[in-house]
Amino acid sequence: MTARRIIPCLDVKDGRVVKGVKFVGHTDMGDAAELAARYRDAGADELVFYDITASPEGRTLDYGWIKDIARLLDIPFCVAGGIRSVDQAARCLDHGADKVSINSPALERPELIAEMAARLGSQCVVVGVDSRLEDGEWVVHKYTGDPDARRRAGKRTLDWLDEAQGLGAGEIVLNCIDQDGVRKGYDIEQLSAARARLTIPLIASGGAGAPEHFKAVFEQSDVSGALAASVFHTGAIAIPDLKAYLAGEGLEMRL
Amino acid sequence: MTEVAVIAYGAGNVASVQFALERLGATVRLTDDPAVIAEAERVILPGVGAAGYAMSRLSELGLVEPIRAFPRPLLGVCLGQQLLFETSQEGEGVDLLGFIPGAVSRLEPAGALPVPHMGWSRLTRDRDDPLLEGVADGAYAYFVHGYVCPDGPATLARSDYGGPVPAMVRSANRWGCQFHPERSAEAGAMILRNFLQVAA
């Protein structure tokens, strides 16, 4: 069996973490590697670094900061944002990332998933999916990093999950954007539907506000991991306390 | 200071292995040079992705025989552990390095668990070994794999993922870790440190 994974997500711009991370106390949260080490020490099972501006701007990335993170971390980490070619993905891995997550570029050109899986192996290909309920159906959105660029991708979420898995994705992060930032809990219904459709690991994203939300999504949707940002960055939930609570509730956690 | 050659053949995340060894104070050489490998004090064979691609890369680089002939401690990591066996059922079938009898097969866990096996699983020791010294029985290690090695006398430690998963294997002074020690926190660091200290 595997322990349920607790995965903080850090937004990165030019190698710096941005947005409020309370335990540093400034708007510029400092060096991405430094914060990574803090989460490592707090017992995070994995980290995701998301380059928040890359995808909407369509620019090529300088992934030099990945190396700094890789030097410090002894837990796995994934990088996301603006990766649109196999070469870019390979460069991330060469710098020490364990996985790369692709979202909008995979929607534009789904074969990218297959190309990455063939050259790099499925195990490092994560497909991020931003999904919301519209007219009674879960549908995929793209360019969600930028409110002005964001739009429908023209796919139903469950269809896209099938397609991504069939093309060779090794893991799915399903970000339920109706829940995002609301802190009322993960979208249990949608995540359960996704879990039932997939044979690869599924990570829940969007909506975490309280320890009970993690318990609910692990118990009811049977996801492999739960990703969250603000509740960890603000200090609202401390990872050691969260993991101890979940273990006490009978979930397998790495303590 | 211990010197270790990490085989960089385009089928593995060598940077994270390099950094993990450097954190332990080792001198690391990333290399695809058969002569450097032949003379190394100890060798790490990393690997992710497809066994067929990995073997063809090793073959193109002229590394298969130097690895087979290497007399000092060698550690295969993840796909590198699988390459220690005879064959893999991946694709049409692939001949591997052949240190340990048996065929690597597709992971088909009971209970419809997700594949690949990705995440932190416990290590259960089958027998004592210098590489497991100081590693608590039941310690967690980070796994990512969709194929599994055959369970047999070479198994040192197992994990359970809808069936037994050989997590560490050994044949003479060739070891394998199915998990990623470089990404397995304290337990992984301890195993790498033990590998650096085992008599060369």
ipTM: 0.93
Q: Is B78 a catalytic residue?
A: yes
Angle between helix axes A211-221 and A188-197 (nearest 10 degrees) is: 30
Strands (E), chain A: 5-13, 16-18, 28-31, 47-51, 77-80, 99-102, 125-134, 137-142, 151-156, 171-176, 202-205, 225-228
Which residues of chain B does A199 touch, with a Cβ-Cβ cutoff of 8 Å?
112, 114-115
pLDDT in tens, B121-164: 999 999 999 999 999 999 999 999 999 999 999 999 999 999 99
So what's the pLDDT on residue A25?
42
Quick check: A123 and B142 CB within 8 A? no
As a whole number of angstroms, the distance between CA A132 and CA A152 comes to: 10
User: Residue A53: exposed, middle, or buried by beta-carbon count in 10 A (0-12, 13-18, 19+)?
Assistant: middle
**Measured between CB atoms, which of B115, B143, B189 is closest to A74?**
B189
Q: How many CB pairs under 8 A join A and B?
A: 101
So what's the pLDDT on residue B112?
86
Q: Is B22 a catalytic residue?
A: no
Quick check: B16 and A123 CB within 8 A? no
Give B10→chain A minimum CA distance, Å: 9
Which candidate in B41, B117, B180, B186 is catalytic? B180
For chain A, the distance separating the N- and C-terminal CA atoms, rounded to the nearest angstrom, is 15
So what's the pLDDT on residue B48?
82
Quick check: A5 and B183 CB within 8 A? no
So what's the pLDDT on residue A24?
44
Give A117→chain B minimum CA distance, Å: 8
Quick check: B48 and A71 CB within 8 A? no
AA letter at A110: P
So what's the pLDDT on residue A59?
54
As a whole number of angstroms, the distance between CA A194 and CA A176 comes to: 11
Question: Average pLDDT in the B80-88 region?
Answer: 97
Nearest Cα to Cα of residue B157 among B179, B182, B184, B189: B179
Nearest Cα to Cα of residue B179 among B160, B162, B194: B160
For chain A, what percent of residues have pLDDT higher than 90? 64
pLDDT in tens, A94-122: 889 999 999 999 999 999 999 999 888 89
What does pLDDT average to over chain A?
89
So what's the pLDDT on residue A14?
75
| Position A147 confidence tier, pLDDT thresholds 50, 70, 90 | low
Quick check: B15 and A96 CB within 8 A? yes
The residues pairing with A8 across neighbouring beta strands, listed in sequence order, are: A228
So what's the pLDDT on residue A21?
47
So what's the pLDDT on residue A23?
43
Q: In the predicted model, is pLDDT for residue A169 greater than 60?
A: yes
Which candidate in B90, B117, B177, B182 is catalytic? B182
CB atoms within 10 A of CB A60: 12
So what's the pLDDT on residue A32?
81
Q: In the predicted model, is pLDDT for residue B41 greater than 60?
A: yes
pLDDT in tens, A21-49: 444 444 555 678 888 999 999 999 999 99
| Position A203 confidence tier, pLDDT thresholds 50, 70, 90 | very high
The contacts of residue B133 (CB under 8 Å, 6+ apart) are B190, B194
**Measured between CB atoms, which of A5, A74, A95 is closest to B119?**
A5
Quick check: B19 and A76 CB within 8 A? no
Which residues of chain A does B115 touch, with a Cβ-Cβ cutoff of 8 Å?
199-200
What does pLDDT average to over chain B?
95
Question: Average pLDDT in the A192-202 region?
Answer: 98
So what's the pLDDT on residue A57?
55
**Optimal mutation site among B16, B21, B79, interface A, most CBs of chain A within 10 A:** B16
| Position B180 confidence tier, pLDDT thresholds 50, 70, 90 | very high
The residues pairing with A7 across neighbouring beta strands, listed in sequence order, are: A227
So what's the pLDDT on residue B49?
79
Question: Average pLDDT in the A116-132 region?
Answer: 92
